[in-house]
Amino acid sequence: MITLHQLDFVTDIMLFLSMAILVVPFAKLIRVGTIVGYLIAGVILGPWGIGQYLGSPFSAPDELRPIGELGVVMLLFLIGLELNPGRLWSLRKEIFGSGSAQVGFSALLIGLAIYFAGLTWQKSLIIGLSLALSSTALSLRILQDRGDRTTPMGQTSIAILLFQDMMIVPILALMAIVAPVPIDTGQRPGWETALIMASTVLLLVAVGRYLLTPLFRLFARIGAREMMTASALLTVLGAATLMKAVGLSSALGAFIAGVMLAESSFRHELEADLEPFRGLLLGFFFITVGMSIDLNFVYQNWVVVLACSFGLMVVKCLSIFSVTRLSGHTPENSLQIGGLLAQAGEFGFVIFSASVAVDLLNPHQSSLLSAIISFTMAFTLLSVWLSQWFGVKLRPEPVKPDIPNTEGGRTNVLVIGFGRFGQLASQMLIAQGSTVTVLDTDAQHIREASRFGYRIYYGDGRRLNVLRAAGAENASVIAVCTERAETTSQIVRMTKTQFPLAKIFARAHDRRHAIQLVTAGADYQLRETLESALQFGREILEELGEDEDRTYEILADVRRRDAELLALQQVGGLYAGYKQFKLPDVPVKPLIKPKSESTALNEPARRLAEAEKKAEKEQSENSEKTSPHKPSSD
């Protein structure tokens, strides 16, 4: 039986979901972003909106903050999953060069302005570093919508965002050092904090290497996918709880948990499984942040909020422009990067909320800073448009990108399925130096391939989020080499729709399946037995004494007629066009003469037998007419 308390809880959840469903799509429709939509939904539900009439928890948003922070924990875990050593190394110059310079220069300018405004150096340091970060979610979404992720501008933007993501944890750790120590926790020397942090990190790394990876391999082998999701959730929450238990940030624990699994073959599957939780919980977090914004304070200080928002975006845009120009970008690219990353990031909400908890900032300062972040996010699309407009004015003739960065760009080939067919195809690609990423659901295949240096991950190619996580959007070719025909057809249809720029190569299991794949949109299909059978037949011809050149001519002719037949069958069905194969007429005769006439078991069989007899009779008559007559004895 549902109690009154449980009913109130269900009603609260319904209100949250209803407001998100109403407001967020509208925000997306007017192109201000889903994050701003969640913030607006929070403002409406908060104590300065309808929450004042609904009572707790809407009138007291701090009660909901722990639940909302789970979204941040999940986001940091997924960021850690993407920060594998290989990706960091491919963009090392951009990440640690442009990224560190941008964060340092922006933080210096912002921090000095805040310090001269009258705040302490501790507050100026944390606020400057926090506002120097940009919105990863918003910036990446804009790059994706514009198709700029693989351009030099997009690659540099992503590199800067990666460095900013890595700065979140140091900022949280720095905040714990410079903030006033809470009364109930006692004093802790800095060396002790560092020792505890190092020990906990080593413990998490050991657990990930010696426990989690074998556990995921076991679940994959027995087919218990739901256990992998449960284990991933337990890993995230366990790491976050462990770090919080030793007095550190739960977000730090989630980040480390992600990094320690970044090299795992199951990374893409984990990312796909946790993505729905991340999106929903992070949306809930932004709603709670919106509920915490003091509208009365913003209303009384709206001039300050607008001025600070505008000033922050100008300072960040100019600092990013300067840094990227020094690294060799064109003025147009530099201005576009500055306009894209000029806003403050969502992690500012996290840092400023945590700053209030450790008495580094007061609630009014946190509300002002949160409002500034919200306004800069809302103005991002305007800054992007302005940077494009002014960038065109700065464009030289002819336009040549200064940094043709291909490292970390397009993946040449994404191979789905690593059985015998996929393995042989991948060997040729890797031998030529192509960049190949492989997806498979067989733990044995993954373990064996990893020993030979293949970049292979556990993931179901039928799941769109797994394909996106594996880089299908940036792949030049998607090779579908799965074992089952139904699975191959399903993947081809989905990839053709979702990734139209990629060429789709597919493994066909038979002629009927080949026709289905062509209809589904495959750019190239190959029946798995075709080439081996043709080569087999050619070898037999050579053994029978046929000239080698002649056997290759026959092979080419059979291939040509097979392709023509397949084209006819796409239009007329499987049994169309067989006359393309002009084989000699060979009369079919039984080896043993039947002792009695055959009897049809049903009406269709009877009609078929009569048609065959009629055809045989006509063929016999035609043969008699065309055969030469013997000379007459006369």
Taking a C-beta distance cutoff of 8 angstroms, is the pair 42, 288 a contact? Answer: yes
Lowest-pLDDT range of 89-98, 447-456, 521-530, 555-564:
447-456
Strand, helix or coil for residue 568:
helix
Per-residue pLDDT for 109 more than 90? yes
Whole-angstrom Cα distance, residue 548 to residue 539? 9
Amino acid at 21: I
Per-residue pLDDT tens digits for 403-449: 333 334 445 789 998 888 888 888 888 877 788 888 887 766 777 77
Helix (H) / strand (E) element for 185: namely: none
**Given CA atoms 306, 310, 316, 319 in this order, what sign does their dihedral have?**
negative
Q: Residue 477 above 50 pLDDT?
A: yes
| One-character DSSP codes across 18-75 | HHHHHHHHHHHHTTS-HHHHHHHHHHHHSTTTTHHHH-TTTT-GGGGHHHHHHHHHHH
Q: Could you report the per-residue pLDDT of 78-89, keeping only the tens digit for each? A: 777 776 656 656
Instruction: Provide the CA 413 distance to its chain's centre, in angstroms.
Output: 15
Architecture of domain 4-180+188-393: Up-down Bundle (1.20)
* Partners of 506 in beta bridges: 480, 525
Q: Give the burial string for 594-623 (b: 16+ CB within 10 Å, else e).
A: eeeeeeeeeeeeeeeeeeeeeeeeeeeeee
User: Mean pLDDT, the chain, as a whole number?
Assistant: 77
Query: Which residue would you say has higher pLDDT here, 277 or 308?
Result: 308
Structure-block tokens of residue 26:
């509208």
Instruction: Find residue 480's DSSP bridge partners.
Output: 416, 506
Q: Is the pTM of this model over 0.75?
A: no
Note the pLDDT tens digit of each residue in 260-281: 777 777 777 777 777 777 777 7
Q: What is the 3-state secondary structure (H, E, C) of 531-548?
A: HHHHHHHHHHHHHCCCCH
pLDDT band (50, 70, 90) for residue 314: very high
Residue 489 CA to its chain's centroid (Å)? 22
pLDDT confidence band for 101 (50 / 70 / 90): very high
Alpha helices in 98-182 (DSSP H): 100-116, 121-132, 136-146, 152-178
Confidence tier at 4 by pLDDT (50, 70, 90): very low
Among 208-217, 442-451, 607-616, which range has the highest average pLDDT? 208-217
Which amino acid does the sequence have at 586? V
Cβ pair 65, 42 in contact under 8 A: no
Residue 459: name the closest of 417, 508, 411, 408 by CA. 417
| Mean pLDDT, residues 90-97 | 78
Burial track 526-554 (b if 16+ CB lie within 10 A, e otherwise): bbbebeeebeeebeebeeeeeeeeebeee
Query: What pLDDT does residue 321 have?
Result: 93
The SS3 assignment for 419 reads coil
Banded pLDDT at 311 (limits 50, 70, 90): very high
> Which amino acid would we find at residue 445?
H
> Which pLDDT score, from 0 to 100, does residue 5 have?
45
Task: Report whether pLDDT(494) > 50.
Answer: yes
With cut-offs at 50, 70 and 90, classify the pLDDT of residue 3.
Answer: very low
Structure tokens at 57: 């928890």
Q: Report yes or no: 345 and 133 within 8 Å, Cβ to Cβ.
A: yes
Q: What digits encode the pLDDT tens for the residues 142-152?
A: 776 676 766 67
Q: Domain map of the chain by residue range? A: 4-180+188-393, 413-580
Query: For residue 452, is pLDDT > 60?
Result: yes
The three-state secondary structure class of 436 is: strand
Say how far apart CA 140 and CA 585 lie, in whole Å: 65
Show the tokens assigned to 334: 């530099």
Residues in the chain: 634
Q: CA 83 to CA 86: how far, in whole Å?
A: 8
- CA distance linking residue 13 with residue 24, whole number of Å: 16
Tokens of 38: 């969640």
CATH topology of domain 413-580: Rossmann fold (3.40.50)
Pick from 315, 332, 501: which is nearest to 403 by CA? 332
What pLDDT is attached to residue 193? 61
Give the separation between CA 473 and CA 458, rounded to whole angstroms. 18
CB 495, CB 463: distance < 8 Å: no
